[in-house]
Structure 1
Amino acid sequence: MAAPPRPAAVRRGSNLPRVGDYNRVVVLDAVRRHAEGLSRVELAALTGLSAQTVSNICRHLLEQGLVVEAGKQGGGPGKPRTMLQLAPSGRYAVGVHLDPVVVTTVVLDLRGGVVARSDAPLAPEAPPEETLALVAAEVAATVEASGVPADRLTGLGVAVPGPVDGPAGDVVGAPNLPGWARVPVRRVLSEATGLPALLDKDVVAAAVAEMWAGGAGPTGSFAFFYLGTGIGTGLVLRGEVLRGSSGNAGEVGHLAADGEGPVCECGQRGCLGERNTTRSLVLQAQAAGLGPWPLDDVLGVDRALGEVCRLADEGVPAAVAVVDAAAARVARAVSGVQNLLDLDLVVFGGPLWPRLERRFLEVVPPLVRGREVAAPLHAVQIRGTRVGRDVAAVGAACLVLDDAFSPRSSVLLVSS
């Protein structure tokens, strides 16, 4: 991933002795956000910590191998200042994206750079225990290929389709994973790999990846619209991910799209997720006279959608109409979320995004901007992800890095 740009703001620390761990993470986070490096004097000014506190923390971070001294910088009065930068090899994290048809595994360094990746096909009808055994084997093989020492691995992040029981780490009934009812994915994979594990929805993981890539925008508030087997949204406000009470915020797939099409499992007709599934779009294209294509399995449907998108990019009217109608349905959902939360950035990504990108970026932005309530105050930016096709797997690893190395004010709270 590209190095993050200089941010507008950095978390402030506290000079109370009891919050040393929090302050250490505040300093590390400030160094991470400034790829060019920071001096101890600059760190004290940014974090609000005393010079002595910053000096002590930097010594600990250097001893732990999390930062490195990267030369000196002068230009003003006084002696040159030693610059500190994040050490990419200081720690690593493993990320897994469990998609209904493929598992993607990555190993990330501390800066969010991918040092190893793999993918392997999955059989949607396979029982959960068989699938999770394959995932654990993929994790072991990818870690071995990376050459990363075991003591440098911080943990394992797992991104899965929702809904999930976030606190328990379970998949509770993903519609695209038949038979996955209350499956303890986090516990099983942690025991199988020997790594502490975190589990989150793929849309949330994608949003976290975008933050770590420096793509959160000037206010740190954005929505990540994930286009894959289903459609969902990762929501971030001022650098904090909104997960909801059970970890299932952002389920936009059941927003009413156009009132047409088959009845959704939720009982409504014309849900966004139902109208914009891969199979639904292909069937809409065939009804418009395109194809026909063999739709006997998931791969056949996926190839057919690729053909529809190719024809749309070439300007074939029937294909353009299908893809543009899908974009217009998504634009309605984007407008609702954007106006509800007053966002200035919307990001698209996910497995289907590379195919849909060209038409969507022509159709969605003008529709959303035309409905933006706060348009006189700010213009919403709409773009594709900076992370790439593996955004959910990368995001899964970023969940681990974010949990370990991002400041959380909740650690300052003490029970009475």
Structure 2
Amino acid sequence: MDPTGTNLPAVGEYNQAVVLDAIRRRPEGITRSELAGLTALSGMTVTNVCRRLLDAGLVEEHGTRVGGPGKPAAVLRLNPSGGFAVGVHIDPAAITYVLVDLSGSVRDHSRTGTPTAGEPAAVISEMAEAIEGLIERSLVDRSRILGIGIASPGPVDVENGIVLNPPMMPNWHLVPLRRALGEATGLPVLLEKDTTAAVVAELWFAEPGSSRDFAFMYYGTGLGTGIAVSGEVVRGIGSNAGDAGHITVDPHGAVCTCGRRGCVGYITVPRALVERAVLDGLLTADEAGDPDDMGDVSAAFHRLAALDAAGDPRARAIMVDTARSLARAIVVVVNLLDIDEVIFGGPFWNPIATSLLAELPEAVWSDPALVPPHPVRLVQSDIAVDVAAVGAATLVLDTTFSPRPSALLLAAD
């Protein structure tokens, strides 16, 4: 098997992916005749595809169903243990690993600190060891691992599997991560921008009939946006779409690294909130720690969130201002895309979710710049474990299941 990401197991051609996807989306089970009617494939094609899926252990027969004259029909269901995928999310604060089964359920996960000052080669070696440990601890059959998905801060070169120059990771410049991790593990590897991976996860777990047009506001060490339109991930020509961090929301705000004032991705991120908490006398300099150490920033950010939850008015003022700044950026995104849902998540979102979601709806709906006449839902992601890590794993599954011809082949190195 080619470890560079060019040879995910050939679960097959287009018809096979269509059938497998249809079975996955009906956990209660589906018969072959129902599959034929749903997919518009011939009965013979469905029968042949189902035989291959059964032989591969990807689906199972669970009882029978009477649907008309003749003998009862066998009911097919996805076999969650028929295959697994590993998801890895690299963030300047931590590296998260998840192991998911074919249904997308997280079987196991772990997290380690990200040695931002370390050499990429050493970090990749540690990543490979962590992945092997995750697989061994979960007791799954390693031959059933379909591949590894990596969610990385952008910008990334998805076609060639290269991490270009992520913020707050100074040594990670032009790192061929896909090839290196593939060689270290012997498994196929896919690379995706972290915000895009989050959108992949949301689409994967979406209920039938749910919104397929949304933005994902990703709140990590930085702020990013992932986009879905008509049920498809919007990646852009270089797979780096969604960088909304430089939307100006406060023309009199702090000067961003880009030279402008009041960029939303500069004034609303955890490090900025901690710095304001120090200026407002809410945290001491010792409590805030080193602003360039994401471990220190994370600890101080959680202290700030706890103070807000306890009712401290100064912490509350910081959260209200943050919500209003985010709302201005959200209005720009909603106006641009004409979407009806914004989903929030990311490694730093949960501590402030309740506080911000109490402010955001009114701040968005009352903004005179809001154009679309339809309601806009603002919700938190239902994915409990790190959404980008889960998205990276479901990227592997999506490549396996997807009935879109363009998604069935991976570019060669």
Please give the TM-score of this superposition, normalised by the length of structure 1: 0.90
CA distance in 1, matches of 2:196, 2:111: 20
**Is 1:250 matched up with 2:242?**
yes
Q: For structure 2, list consecutive stretches of 5 or more residues without a partner in the other structure.
A: 1-11
For residues 56-75 of structure 1, the aligned pairs below 5 Å read 56-74=48-66
Report the 3-state secondary structure (helix = DSSP H, G, I; strand = E; otherwise coil) of the residue aligned with 1:235: strand
Of 248, 255, 265, the match for 1:263 = 255
Tell me the residue number matched to 1:151: 143
Conserved 8 A contact 1:347-1:382:
yes
Tell me the residue number matched to 2:127: 135
CA distance in 1, matches of 2:258, 2:195: 20
Conserved 8 A contact 1:213-1:386:
no
Of 334, 338, 349, the match for 1:338 = 334
State the AA in 1 paired with 2:316.
V
CA distance in 2, matches of 1:369, 1:77: 55
Alignment deviations for residues 122-148 of structure 1 (CA, whole Å, 9 cap, x no partner): 222112112111111111111111222
Tell me the residue number matched to 1:373: 371
Aligned pair count reads: 392
1:97 CA drift (Å): 0.8
Conserved 8 A contact 2:402-2:408:
no
Tell me the residue number matched to 1:318: 314
Alignment deviations for residues 221-250 of structure 1 (CA, whole Å, 9 cap, x no partner): 211111000010111112211111111101
**Is 1:161 matched up with 2:153?**
yes
Report the 3-state secondary structure (helix = DSSP H, G, I; strand = E; otherwise coil) of the residue aligned with 1:247: coil
CA distance in 2, matches of 1:345, 1:306: 27
CA distance in 1, matches of 2:191, 2:236: 15
1:181 CA drift (Å): 1.2
RMSD: 1.9
State the AA in 2 paired with 1:316.
D
Of 299, 302, 308, the match for 1:303 = 299
For residues 5-404 of structure 1, the aligned pairs below 5 Å read 21-74=13-66, 76-214=68-206, 218-292=210-284, 293-296=287-290, 297-371=293-367, 372-375=370-373, 378-404=374-400
CA distance in 2, matches of 1:362, 1:411: 39
CA distance in 2, matches of 1:55, 1:21: 15
CA distance in 2, matches of 1:176, 1:115: 31
Report the 3-state secondary structure (helix = DSSP H, G, I; strand = E; otherwise coil) of the residue aligned with 2:389: helix
Alignment deviations for residues 124-180 of structure 1 (CA, whole Å, 9 cap, x no partner): 211211211111111111111122222211111011111111211111111111121
CA distance in 1, matches of 2:209, 2:268: 28
Alignment deviations for residues 362-399 of structure 1 (CA, whole Å, 9 cap, x no partner): 11122223355333xx4222111111241111111111
CA distance in 1, matches of 2:366, 2:110: 42
CA distance in 2, matches of 1:334, 1:78: 56
Alignment deviations for residues 313-341 of structure 1 (CA, whole Å, 9 cap, x no partner): 22221111101111111111222212221
Would the alpha carbon gap of residues 197 and 216 (structure 1) be closer, same or farther in structure 2, given more than 3 Å must change?
A: farther
CA distance in 2, matches of 1:157, 1:70: 31
CA distance in 2, matches of 1:94, 1:174: 22
Conserved 8 A contact 1:96-1:397:
yes
Would the alpha carbon gap of residues 340 and 216 (structure 1) be closer, same or farther in structure 2, given more than 3 Å must change?
A: farther
CA distance in 1, matches of 2:300, 2:18: 49
State the AA in 1 paired with 2:283.
G
Q: For structure 1, list consecutive stretches of 5 or more residues without a partner in the other structure.
A: 1-19
Report the 3-state secondary structure (helix = DSSP H, G, I; strand = E; otherwise coil) of the residue aligned with 1:254: coil
Identity, % of aligned pairs?
Answer: 47
Report the 3-state secondary structure (helix = DSSP H, G, I; strand = E; otherwise coil) of the residue aligned with 1:253: coil
Question: Higher relative contact order by CA 8 Å / sep ≥ 6: 1 or 2?
Answer: 2
